[in-house]
Amino acid sequence: MGIFSRRVSARDREPISEEKFEYFSREIANTIESEYRRFEQLVDERKAEGLSGSEFSEYESAFETSLSQICKFINRLLGQSASDLRTTERVWPDGTKVKSLMDQLVAINSPKANAIIADLEEVCIYYADSVKSGTFLLMPDATMESSRSYRGYLLGNKINGDNNWGWEKDKKSPREHADNSVSQFLGRFITEVHDKVGVSKILTSACLLAILLSTAWETAPERHSIR
């Protein structure tokens, strides 16, 4: 598991209440729904502008496949039993499984893990503070709300870069597209948590959960089924 090479004792890990694991579950589900809305908006805008062509259909197909595989990944790793499924939801993460994932894989005392978590958290906070201070030059006159999606996008690019997933390439393979979609989902998940709870131990835990999910994605059958 790379940076998550050993387990630590409970006293070495910041405890999180059961309610917070359920909160993470809800935010994961909400972020997935937001990613689908973003996809639908892109398609609607393209159609409204009268744009068509194979490049658009190929991109949209890759986008839709990526989101579908991410949902399968989350439901396999964190999903509730079939009897608990609600047909209106694409993902149904279980707070107890979020807890189990973090309990099994946390290596919070690993210097490399600590550095990655701290860096991700610092960048998230930096973007937010830049908006608050009016120095977020990438999006002049932005508010916290209007900049949220873009801040998540930038954080997702960072996750892509940290994982060497090839985000800098204009033309991506289907798997690279899916990797990028995972990073964007995780970047927006962290950003949503930050904007709701601020700088806190919950945010640190959200960064850790995002890294755990990106690590699990690298070996996931859902990822390797994409050619």
Cα(106)–Cα(3) distance, rounded to whole angstroms?
10
The pLDDT, as a whole number, for residue 8 is 34
pLDDT per residue as tens digits for the range 100-112: 888 865 545 567 7
Cα 183 to Cα 161: distance, rounded to the nearest angstrom: 9
Of the candidates 139, 140, 148, 133, the one whose C-alpha atom is nearest the C-alpha of residue 191 is 148
**Token pair recorded at residue 199:** 């700088």
Average pLDDT, the chain: 86
What does the pLDDT look like over 56-77, one tens digit per residue?
A: 999 999 999 999 999 999 999 9
H helix runs in the chain, sequence order: 18-48, 54-78, 95-105, 111-133, 144-162, 174-197, 201-218, 221-224
Is residue 149 within 8 A of residue 187, CB to CB? The reply is: no
- Tell me the C-alpha to C-alpha distance, in Å, between residue 37 and each of 128, 150, 174, 204, 223: 23, 15, 21, 27, 22
- pLDDT given at position 10: 34
Direct distance between the N- and C-terminal alpha carbons of the chain, in angstroms, rounded to an integer: 23
The rounded distance, in Å, linking the Cα atoms of 160 and 214 is 9
Collapse the DSSP code of 9 into the 3-class scheme (helix H, G, I; strand E, B; otherwise coil) and give the result: coil
Q: Which long-range contacts (CB under 8 A, 24 or more apart) does 59-62 make?
A: 62/172, 62/174, 62/177, 62/178
125-136 core/surface letters (b: 16 or more CB in 10 A; e: else):
eebbebbeeeeb
Comparing CA positions, the residue from 177, 152, 153 lying closest to residue 59 is 177
Q: Which amino acid is present at 79?
A: G
Q: Is the pTM of this model over 0.75?
A: yes
Give the confidence band of 4 by pLDDT, cuts at 50, 70, 90: very low
Rounded CA-CA distance 210/27 in Å is: 12
Query: pLDDT value at position 7?
Result: 37
Nearest-angstrom CA–CA distance, 1 and 219: 9
Q: 141 versus 18: which is more confidently predicted?
A: 141
**pLDDT tens, residue by residue, 148-190:** 999 999 999 999 988 888 765 667 889 999 999 999 999 999 9
Task: Using the structure block, give the residue that is written with the tokens 């958290």.
Answer: 121
